[in-house]
Amino acid sequence: MAERIDILSTDFDRASAITNAVTALNEGNLIIAPLEFGYVFIADAFNHKAVQSIHRLRYDARGVATQVIVGDIDTARGITREFGETTKALCERFWPGMLTVNIAPALGLVWDLGDARTLEQISIRIPSADLVRDIARASGPLAVASAALAGQKPKRDTALFPARDSDYAFLFDGGDLPEGEPSTVISVKGDGIFLQRAGAISLTSLREVTPNIAIPA
């Protein structure tokens, strides 16, 4: 039976919640928690069976990959390639926050985010949602996807997730979440940095860090 934990309660024990979340993830369970503008399913990124459970609950098409959440920039650098100084400067400016970086994963990582390790890049972010960020810092990289059916809008409340209580260990209830713009997505490749999706962070803001942000034709 899943346990619901009210993270807005005055009785909320943060340290205990993080410990319980990490234990559940290490045991191959899913948890549900709030990011900035929606609730997400969360799994240990290196537990293929748990990641598959996210895709099963969401009815994702074959080949869809989860996003990766990390707790700090050092972890991001450790699991990727091509994380150069410009990428680091952008991440130091906009992380934690609404910047998603698509970048080549490090060679030799034993994981499958849902794409059977066929994708050339993974999507990685450090969120400003501090509970999930702290769980990632304590546990290591997390696989995340919206706790909604594929193609539906993000779930901003805790009613009617596409999952039974037996499908996850904990629901961290942060109440109703605000609406907001999606993350801005950049792609890091050997020959430069490209804007893939405009979102919460403007191109102008990105170019305040580096003017070398290309827009694909």
Q: Could you give the strand order of the β-sheet that contains 192-197, starting from the edge strand earlier in sequence?
A: 3-6, 170-173, 31-34, 39-44, 142-146, 67-69, 122-125, 99-103, 184-189, 192-197, 213-214
- Tell me, which fold does domain 3-179 have in CATH? DHBP synthase (3.90.870)
Residue from 171, 172, 174, 169 nearest 30 by CA: 169
**Confidence (pTM):** 0.95
Looking at residue 160, what is its pLDDT?
79
Residue from 35, 199, 180, 179 nearest 101 by CA: 199
Looking at residue 216, what is its pLDDT?
77
Strands 192-197 and 184-189: antiparallel
Looking at residue 111, what is its pLDDT?
82
Q: Which regions in the chain score pLDDT beneath 50?
A: none
